[in-house]
Chains A and B, each alone.
Chain A
Amino acid sequence: MENKTILEVKDLKTYFRTDAGIVKAVDGVSFRLDKGETLGLVGESGSGKSVTNMSIMKLIPMPPGKIVGGEVLLDGVDILKLNEKEMSRIRGNRISMIFQDPMTALNPYLRISTQLIETIRLHQGLDKAEARKKAIEMLKLVGIPAAERRIDAYPHQFSGGMRQRVMIAIALSCNPEILIADEPTTALDVTIQAQILDLIKDLSEKLETAVIMITHDLGVVAGMCDNVCVMYAGRIVERAPVDDLFESPKHPYTNGLIQSIPRLDEKGSGRLFSIDGQPPNVIDLPECCPFHPRCEKAMDVCTRKYPPVVSLEGKREVACWLYEENK
C-alpha cells in the first residue's frame, strides 16, 4: 500500500476580504500527500503556508476569510463540502495539528490531563479511566518523564519544549492519518528544536502518519522531509524531492532561498546572500509572475502572464517561464 495518496489538494483558493481589498492569501494551490510521506511546505512569512493548512482543517476565520474554490480530498472525499459536525469528526482524529507557539496553544486554565483526555474520549469513545491510561501512554511516548504524576500538572508548570511534546501527544493521541506541523520548532530553543523534530520524525514513522511540515527553515526541510513544495505569494512555485531541490533548484526563487543559507564551509566576501526586494503585496496582484520584480532572469513574458506549471523529470514541477517552451 505504499505511495497511496491520502490527501489531495486541488486548486485551493482562500481569500480574505479586508478594507484595502481582497487578499489572495492562497491562490490556486495543489499538492498531493502520500501515506507516510513527510511533505515540507516552505516560504517566507505571508506566502500562504499556514493559510493553506488552516483551510484544509477549515479553521479559517470566516468572515473575513473565505475558501473560494478548489477541493481537498481526504481519501477521495472532498472535505470542503462537509458540514461542521462531519468536519469535527475529522479534526483531531484523522487530521491533527500542532502549532508554532506551545506557550499559548495549550489552555492555561486546564490540567494537561483534561486537555489530553477530552480529545481521546471525543474521538475514541473510551471511558474516563481508559482514556486516562491512554493519555499517560501518549505522554510516555513523547518522552515526558514521570508521566503518571505530570499528567495532572498545568501547562505553566512545563517548559516550552515539554509543552510542545504535550501538543504532539494530543495531536497523535487518536492515530491521525495526517499531522500538520505549523512551524513546530520556531518558538523553541535551538537545542530543543532538534529533539522535537526527531520526535515528530520517529513517531510519524512508528504510527505511519503522513506529515505536512510548514516551515521557513530550510535546514528543517533537509533533515525531515521527503518532498518539498516552495510557496511564493499564495502559490506553489516549485515541487521536488528534497535532495533534488537542494542539489539543483529550478525556480529562481528556490535558488535564491538556498543561496541565502549561511554556510560554514565556504569563505565568502563576508556578506550574506539575500534576495533583493520585498515579497509582493498579495492585494490585487496583477496577472504576472509575482516574483518577476525580484528575479534576475525575468523576461518580458514574466510581466504579462502567470507561468504555467511545467513538469520536469524525476517527479518535479516548477512554475516558471524559463522551462516553458511555447511562451
Chain B
Amino acid sequence: MTKYILKRFLGMIPTLLIITTVAFIIMRIAPGGPFDRERAIPPAVQANIEAKYHLDEPLIKQYFRYLGGIIRGDFGPSYKYKDQTVTDLISNSLPHSLLLGTLALMAATFFGVLAGIIAALNQNTWLDYTAMSIAVFGVSVPAFVIGPVLMLIFAMKLKILPTSGWITGPDGWKTVLMPLIALSMSYFASIARLSRSSVLEVIRSDYVRTAKAKGLSPTMIILKHVLKGAMLPVVSYLGIAYSGIITGSVVIEQIFRIPGLGRFFVQSSLNRDYTMIMGVIIVYSTVVILMNFLVDILYSFLDPRISYQ
C-alpha cells in the first residue's frame, strides 16, 4: 500500500510536466503577446522590454529557463501586475479559492448524500419527489443565475446577507453563505441523484436481504450494510466534482468579488500574461491531480476487493 501511494505520488510529476509543456506551447502559438498594444510602441522600447523578460531568447531556452524556475518554486514575474511575482499573486489568492471550493464540496457531499438516502428510503413518496425536484433544479440552473438571484433575495430584499466581500469583520461567515450555495448547488444535485440510485441498488442486493434475515434493525442495516457500498460511486465522483468546483469558482468569485485565484484565470489569458497563465494552469492541475489521487486512496479503504500493488 505504501509502495503504491509512493508510486502514484511520483507518477504525478510526468503528468504535470506534460501539462506544463503543452500549456507553454499552446500559449506561444496563440497570436499576440503580453506587450502588444493598440498603439505600436517604438521598436527599441519593445526590444528592451522583451530582453528584460528574456522573450528575445529562442523558445526552447525560455522553456528550460521557466522549468528551472518552477523547480526552485519561482513562477517568474507577472507581466501585467508589475512588481509582483506570480508566486506572490497565487499564494495570496489560492487559499481563498481552496477554502471556498473545499467548503462547497463538503456541503454538496453532506447534503447531497443525505438527500439521496432520504429519497431512496422513501422511494416514490413526496419526500423522494421533493428531493429529486430540488436536484433537477440544481442541475439545470447554472451558478451564475443562482448567485444573482440569491443576492436579490437575501441581500437586496431581505437585507440579511451582504452582497459581496470575503470573510472580513465580525460577521465574516455571512459572506461565505451565498457563494457557497451558488457554487455547490449543481454538485449537491448530482451527488443527491447519484446517492439515491446507488442506495436503491444496494438495498435491493442479496447481502442486504441477508442482513434483514439476520434480524438487524433498519437503522443498523442502513448504517452498517448499505452506506459503505452505496458511497463508492459518490467517492469516485468527488475527484471530478472537486476539479469542477475549483475551476467553476471563477464565475462565483467574479459575482461575489472574492479575492480568489479565479479572477486571474480569465484575466491572465486575455492579457497574454505568460507567466501568470502558466502559474494558474500548473496550480489548478496540481489540485485536480492531487484530489484524484486522494480519491483513489480513499476508494481502496472503502472497498477491500481493491488492492493496489
Contacts and interface: CB of A to CB of B under 8 A. Distances in A.
Interface of A: 57, 59, 84-85, 88-93, 96-97, 99, 101, 104-111, 114, 118-119, 122-123, 154, 156, 167, 170
A108 B215 contact: no
Interface residues of B, number: 22
B305 A101 contact: no
Contacts of A101: 206
Contacts of B218: 84
9 contacts: A85-B217, A97-B213, A99-B213, A105-B209, A106-B210, A107-B210, A118-B224, A122-B216, A123-B215
B222 to A, nearest CB: 13
A322 B126 CA distance: 54
A109 B223 CA distance: 13
A119 B214 contact: yes
Contacts of B216: 88, 92, 118-119, 122
B302 interface: yes
Give me the 9 closest cross-chain CB pairs, A-B, nearest first: A92-B215, A92-B214, A91-B215, A104-B206, A107-B207, A154-B304, A88-B215, A109-B228, A97-B213
A57 to B, nearest CB: 6
A99 B210 contact: yes
Contacts of B303: 108-109
A104 B224 contact: no
A156 B210 contact: no
A105 B304 contact: no
A91 to B, nearest CB: 4
B229 interface: yes
B215 A119 contact: yes
B65 interface: no
Contacts of B209: 59, 99, 105
Given A105-B206, A106-B207, A109-B228, A59 B302 contact: no
Contacts of A107: 207, 210-211, 225, 229
A92 B224 CA distance: 17
B290 to A, nearest CB: 26
Given A101-B206, A118-B224, A96 B214 contact: yes
Given A107-B207, A108-B207, A122 B215 contact: yes
Contacts of A90: 215
B123 to A, nearest CB: 10
A201 B229 CA distance: 34
B213 A108 contact: no
Interface string B90-103: 00000000000000
B106 to A, nearest CB: 23
Interface string B266-302: 0000000000000000000000000000000000001
B7 interface: no
B61 interface: no
Contacts of A104: 205-207
Contacts of A123: 215
B304 A93 contact: no
B212 A105 contact: no
Contacts of A106: 207, 210
B304 A59 contact: no
Contacts of B225: 107, 110
A89 B224 CA distance: 18
Contacts of A156: 304-305
Instruction: Give the residue among B214, B217, B220, B228 with the most A Cβ atoms within 10 A.
Output: B214
A117 to B, nearest CB: 11
A105 B228 contact: no
Contacts of A105: 206-207, 209-210
A110 B207 CA distance: 11
Contacts of B213: 57, 59, 91-92, 96-97, 99
Contacts of A57: 213
Nearest to A120: B214
Nearest to A154: B304
A84 B205 CA distance: 20
A86 to B, nearest CB: 11
Given A105-B207, A109-B302, A122-B215, 13 more contacts: A59-B212, A84-B218, A85-B217, A92-B213, A93-B215, A96-B214, A104-B206, A104-B207, A106-B210, A107-B210, A108-B303, A119-B215, A167-B210
A91 B214 contact: yes
Contacts of B206: 99, 101, 104-105
